[in-house]
Structure 1
Amino acid sequence: MTITTEEELAKLKAIGSICAQVLDKMAAALRPGITTAELDDLGRILLEQAGARSAPQLTYDFPGATCISVNEEIAHGIPGARVIQPGDLVNIDVSAEKDGVFADMGASYVVPPVTDILARLTRDGRKAMWAGIKQVAPGAPLANIGNAIGKFAKKNGYTLITNLASHGVGDSLHDEPGEIPTWPDKSERRKIADGLVFTIEPFLSLGGKYAMDSAKDDGWTLVSRPPALCVQYEHTIVATKRGPVVVTLP
Structure 2
Amino acid sequence: MKKYRGIFLKNAAEIRIMREANRIVARILDALEKAVRPGVPTMLFEEIAQAKCREYGVRPAFQGYHGFPFALCCSVNEEIVHGFPSDRLLKNGDIVSFDMGVVYEGFYGDSAKTFTVGEVSGKANALLDATRSALAHGIEQARPGNDLYDISKAIQEYVEGKGMHVVRRFVGHGIGRNLHEKPEVPNFVPQGSPSIPLKAGMVLAIEPMVTLGSPEVKVLDDKWTAVTRDGSLAAHFEHTVVVTGDGPEILSL
- TM-score surpassing 0.5? yes
Q: Equivalences for 1:198-237 in 2 at 5 Å?
A: 198-214=204-220, 217-237=221-241
Alignment equivalent of 2:172, drawn from 166, 174, 193 = 166
Does the 8 Å CA contact 2:79/2:233 hold for their aligned counterparts?
no
Q: Deviations over 1:118-144 (max 9, x none)?
A: 111111110011110011112311111
Q: CA deviation at 1:58?
A: 4.6
Q: What corresponds to 1:17 in structure 2?
A: 23
Alignment equivalent of 2:246, drawn from 238, 242, 246 = 242
Q: What corresponds to 2:188 in structure 1?
A: 183
Alignment equivalent of 2:61, drawn from 30, 55, 63 = 55
Moved over 6 A (4+): none
Q: What corresponds to 2:103 in structure 1?
A: 97
Q: What corresponds to 2:4 in structure 1?
A: none
Distance 2:111 2:214 in 1: 21
Does the 8 Å CA contact 1:147/1:185 hold for their aligned counterparts?
no
Q: Deviations over 1:7-50 (max 9, x none)?
A: 21110010000000000110111111211111110011001110
Which SS does the other structure have where 1:237 is aligned? strand
Does the 8 Å CA contact 1:95/1:105 hold for their aligned counterparts?
yes
Which SS does the other structure have where 2:62 is aligned? helix
Does the 8 Å CA contact 1:208/1:230 hold for their aligned counterparts?
no
Number of aligned residues: 245
Amino acid at match of 1:157: G
Structure 2 unaligned residues grouped into runs of 5+: 1-7
Q: Deviations over 1:185-216 (max 9, x none)?
A: 232322222200111111111122233212xx
Alignment equivalent of 1:2, drawn from 2, 5, 9 = 9
Which SS does the other structure have where 1:119 is aligned? helix
Distance 1:130 1:203 in 2: 13
Deviates more, 1:77-86 or 1:224-233: 224-233
Is 1:80 the counterpart of 2:86? The answer is yes
Q: CA deviation at 1:161?
A: 0.6
Q: CA deviation at 1:154?
A: 2.0
Amino acid at match of 2:143: A
Which SS does the other structure have where 1:56 is aligned? coil
What's the % identity of the aligned pairs?
32
TM-score normalized by the length of structure 1: 0.94
Amino acid at match of 1:3: K
Does the 8 Å CA contact 2:172/2:206 hold for their aligned counterparts?
yes
Which SS does the other structure have where 2:31 is aligned? helix
Deviates more, 1:222-231 or 1:127-136: 222-231
Distance 2:64 2:118 in 1: 34
Distance 1:176 1:139 in 2: 18
